[in-house]
Amino acid sequence: MFVGDSITIGSAGDFTWRYRMWRHLNSAYGGPFRVVGPRTALHEDSQDYGDPAFPEKARCHLAGWGEGWLHMAPLIGDAVRRHKADTLLVSLGLIDLGFYADARETARNVRRFVAEARAARPGVRAVILPVVPNVRALTDPDFAAECERFNELLAKAVADLSTPSSPLLLASPPPDWTVDRDTYDGTHPSPSGEHRLAAAFATALHQAWDVGGPYEP
């Protein structure tokens, strides 16, 4: 199950990094898999994906424009329970820090999110991506510092909460991420950004759990 904010849900015309990840798993994963989740649409309920051949059953997700850890923590338990998700790929935090909460409160919502997911499915596992700063971080030093502070707290939460029966992974941020090349508006991923985000998750899955293989765009 893909869990995220506007960077994950995408908008009309986007391929999305979810699509890139689905394509990767189709070619690199050695067994059957299902993408699950309560939603399938892009922003504003659009189904105008960059590739119209993207199957509806593979479009499933739990992502929302303007939704962060604050919003997903109350929703994740029911979504995991109803859709029987066993692996969560999570990209959240930027919207929280930008509009709703500071780093410490957001980190508390991370812990609530994990607790709710485990209450629904004790063996659920997750790969979590640190916040990838957007263009605001280039001009607002306080916001950049808050993003860095949250990523430190996120790493601590992942280390504290990971267990053998319900492991958590902290994905490595995409190397050499630049807003000019990897976003189309300073925040939302361009095609190169979509590939880089998918590669971050694919690398973590392959290296830690031997799921799939090296990411090849």
Asked if residue 177 has pLDDT above 90, the reply is: yes
Q: What is the DSSP letter of 51?
A: S
Classify residue 107: in a domain, yes or no: yes
Classify residue 216: in a domain, yes or no: no
pLDDT score for 30: 81
- DSSP code per residue over 122-190: TT-EEEEEPP---THHHH-HHHHHHHHHHHHHHHHHHHHH--SSS-EEEPPPPTT--HHHHBSSSSSB-
pLDDT score for 24: 97
Mean pLDDT score, 184-192? 97
Torsions phi, psi for 6 (to 5 deg) = -65, -25
Mean pLDDT score, 179-188? 97
Which range of residues forms the domain containing residue 27?
Answer: 2-209
Asked if residue 217 has pLDDT above 90, the reply is: no
Classify residue 152: in a domain, yes or no: yes
Asked if residue 31 has pLDDT above 90, the reply is: no
Mean of the per-residue pLDDT values for the chain?
97
Mean pLDDT score, 45-72? 98
What's the CA gap between 46 and 61, in Å, rounded?
14
Sheet holding 125-129, edge to edge: 62-63, 2-4, 87-91, 125-129, 168-170
Classify residue 217: in a domain, yes or no: no
Pairwise pLDDT comparison (146 vs 133), residue with the higher score: 146
pLDDT digits (tens, 9 = 90+) for 196-207: 999 999 999 999
Classify residue 214: in a domain, yes or no: no
Classify residue 126: in a domain, yes or no: yes
Classify residue 215: in a domain, yes or no: no
- Whether 57 and 88 have beta carbons less than 8 Å apart is answered as no
pLDDT digits (tens, 9 = 90+) for 75-134: 999 999 999 999 999 999 999 999 999 999 999 999 999 999 999 999 999 999 999 989
* CATH code, 57: 3.40.50.1110
Cβ-based neighbour number of residue 53 at 10 Å? 5
Mean pLDDT score, 181-207? 98
Classify residue 193: in a domain, yes or no: yes
Cβ-based neighbour number of residue 46 at 10 Å? 14
pLDDT score for 26: 95
What's the CA gap between 205 and 212, in Å, rounded?
7
Q: What are 208's two structure tokens?
A: 């830690």
* Whole-prediction pTM: 0.97
CA distances in angstroms from 210 to 29, 123, 147, listed in the order given? 9, 18, 30
Cβ-based neighbour number of residue 108 at 10 Å? 16
pLDDT score for 197: 98
pLDDT score for 21: 98
Count up the domains in the chain and report the number: 1
Q: Residue length, the chain? A: 217
CA distances in angstroms from 17 to 1, 78, 135, 153, listed in the order given? 13, 24, 19, 25
